[in-house]
């Protein structure tokens, strides 16, 4: 094999999809992961990263288009990095997501044969997200078209949009996102122009300067709306003026089930604790899922594709043979979006969650729906003492797991292996960590099947439900 060099240009045939939205090509058997290509393409690529066993390349030119290739609808495609499968037909997206689950379970869990059902498609593939978080940036990313236009570029030090992949210091300024509602686009543009009008600056973590940090927009299918502006503490008069406009004039622009929130985050970390200092409206929105009403507060977790949620919950219920005499535990229960529908089919459900606001919302959701056979408890599921905390509760017949992308903590897995429920339903948004965790349970459990569910069209992200049943002693 001739040695691959950095910045070398090659003409390659793209063979298949790979995890995280890349595709795979080979040069004399050497693996090259290609960004921006579609399986079936013939492309001229440039090597941008070189490793011992593989390289990463970007597409410079498509020589022959794959039959699976489609024209992206978003004008920011290829730059923002959020929907890097818009150039791939939706049917192929579904197929490749299933293939990825098979691949990671084969490689990580080392299971050669596993039943993975067809991916359940989303009812909507655009405008499906009920929550989008935008970032303010003091260093705006300029597109190639902007640079080559020779036109005057304004507001280079102010942007509201998304961070450029692998360049967290740069933000792409956008005026629309095809994943959120049309009202979200209107809010995005209103906030952007008003912030400029009042002379507010974006936060710069390098020198702890600036004011504006994030804008989070949440919507519900029944017209509910939460607008959450996240800033550093007020330092300047113009910032006070902007907040006065936001808290007074902005609240008049939207009627109905609307909550306007201002939160403070004085940490340089965008995921640090954010204190709500102002809230106008009910303080939450509601969503109807499986004929149940759910209250969702500004910082409570809720699945982001409301259009797919009924199908999602139905498939979780279908995985197990639920009956009125069963006891169920729900780890990482959030606001009870899985717990409460399950409770209608079993004797008792216990939901466990670390977030205080989620537990508060879950209890309210139970009361709203007059559900009395559930209990919600605030517990650190990563704790070394987890098993002792759980001793006071009756042993579950079924355990539902819905952890964050990082998967299960080793203490959680150890506790599961002590409890040994008859069935485990593992809900995951990251097949790699799901496969890793399942492999640690294989001594006591069989993986009966996996059901992929597409909650995130046009992205490589996939939600998967795994049914594990306890082996006979």
Residues involved in catalysis? 429
Q: How confident is the model at residue 2 (pLDDT cuts 50, 70, 90)?
A: low
Q: Which residue has the higher pLDDT, 145 or 272?
A: 145
- Helix 431-441 to helix 90-107 angle (10° resolution) is 30
Give 204-235 pLDDT, tens digit per residue. Answer: 878 888 999 999 999 999 889 999 999 999 99
Is the pLDDT at 151 greater than 90? The verdict is no
Q: How confident is the model at residue 119 (pLDDT cuts 50, 70, 90)?
A: very high
The pLDDT of residue 1 is 47
What's the 3-state SS for 259-283?
Answer: EEEEEECCCCCCCCCCEEEEEECCC
- The least confident of 115-119, 149-153, 279-283, 419-423 is 149-153
The pLDDT of residue 342 is 96
Q: What are the start-end ranges of the H helices in 200-338?
A: 237-248, 306-319
CATH number of 102-124+302-470: 3.40.50.150
Measure the CA–CA gap between 13 and 108, rounded to whole angstroms: 27
Average pLDDT of the residues of the chain? 91
The pLDDT of residue 153 is 80
The pLDDT of residue 271 is 67
Fold topology of 9-69: OB fold (Dihydrolipoamide Acetyltransferase, E2P) (2.40.50)
Mean pLDDT, rounded, for 105-131: 93
Give 56-87 pLDDT, tens digit per residue. Answer: 999 999 999 999 999 999 999 988 878 889 99
Mean pLDDT, rounded, for 323-351: 95
Is the pLDDT at 426 greater than 60? The verdict is yes
CA distances from 319 to 117, 376, 450 (A): 12, 23, 9
State pTM to two decimals: 0.90
Is the pLDDT at 52 greater than 70? The verdict is yes
Fold topology of 131-287: OB fold (Dihydrolipoamide Acetyltransferase, E2P) (2.40.50)
Positions of E strands within 181-256: 212-219, 225-231
Q: Pseudo-torsion of CA 184, 189, 190, 194, nearest 10°?
A: 150
Mean pLDDT, rounded, for 168-187: 93
Per CATH, 9-69 and 102-124+302-470 having the same topology is answered: no
Domain segments of the chain as ranges: 9-69, 102-124+302-470, 131-287
């Amino acid at each position: 094999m001739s040695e691959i060099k950095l910045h070398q240009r090659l003409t390659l045939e793209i063979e298949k999809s790979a995890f995280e939205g890349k595709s795979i090509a080979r040069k004399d058997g050497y693996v090259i992961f290609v960004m921006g290509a579609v399986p079936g393409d013939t492309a001229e690529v440039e090597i941008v990263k070189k490793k011992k066993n593989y390289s990463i390349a970007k597409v410079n030119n498509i020589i022959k288009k794959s039959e699976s290739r489609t024209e992206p609808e978003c004008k920011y495609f290829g730059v923002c990095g959020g929907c890097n499968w818009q150039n791939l037909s939706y049917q192929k997206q579904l197929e490749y997501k299933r293939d990825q689950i098979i691949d990671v379970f084969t490689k990580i869990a080392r299971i050669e044969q596993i039943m993975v059902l067809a991916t359940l498609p989303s009812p909507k593939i655009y405008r499906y997200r009920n929550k989008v978080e935008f970032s303010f940036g003091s260093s705006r990313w300029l597109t190639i078209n902007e640079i080559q236009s020779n036109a005057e570029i304004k507001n280079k030090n102010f942007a509201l949009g998304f961070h450029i992949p692998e360049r967290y210091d740069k933000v792409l300024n956008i005026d629309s996102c095809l994943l959120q509602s049309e009202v979200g686009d209107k809010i995005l543009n209103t906030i952007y122009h008003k912030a400029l009008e009042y002379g507010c600056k974006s936060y710069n973590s390098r020198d702890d300067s600036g004011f504006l940090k994030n804008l989070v927009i949440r919507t519900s299918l029944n017209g509910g709306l939460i607008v959450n502006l996240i800033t550093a503490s007020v330092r300047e008069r113009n910032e006070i003026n902007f907040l006065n406009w936001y808290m007074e004039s902005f609240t008049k622009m939207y009627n109905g089930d609307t909550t306007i929130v201002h939160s403070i985050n004085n940490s340089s970390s965008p995921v640090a604790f954010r204190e709500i200092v102002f809230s106008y409206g009910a303080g939450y929105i509601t969503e109807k899922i499986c004929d149940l009403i759910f209250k969702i507060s500004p910082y409570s977790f809720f699945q982001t594709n409301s259009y797919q949620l009924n199908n999602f919950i139905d498939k979780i219920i279908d995985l197990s043979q639920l009956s009125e005499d069963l006891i169920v535990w729900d780890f990482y229960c959030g606001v009870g979006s899985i717990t409460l529908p399950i409770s209608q089919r079993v004797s008792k459900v216990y939901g466990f969650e670390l977030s205080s606001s989620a537990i508060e919302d879950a209890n309210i959701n139970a009361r709203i729906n007059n559900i009395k056979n559930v209990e919600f408890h605030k517990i650190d599921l990563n704790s070394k003492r987890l098993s002792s905390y759980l001793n006071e509760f009756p042993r579950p017949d079924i355990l539902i797991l819905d952890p964050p992308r990082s998967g299960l903590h080793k203490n959680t897995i150890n506790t599961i292996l002590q409890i040994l429920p008859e069935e485990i339903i593992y809900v995951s948004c990251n097949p790699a960590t799901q496969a890793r965790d399942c492999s640690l349970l294989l001594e006591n459990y069989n993986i009966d099947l996996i059901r992929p569910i597409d909650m995130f069209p046009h992205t490589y992200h996939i939600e998967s439900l795994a049914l594990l049943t306890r082996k006979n002693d």
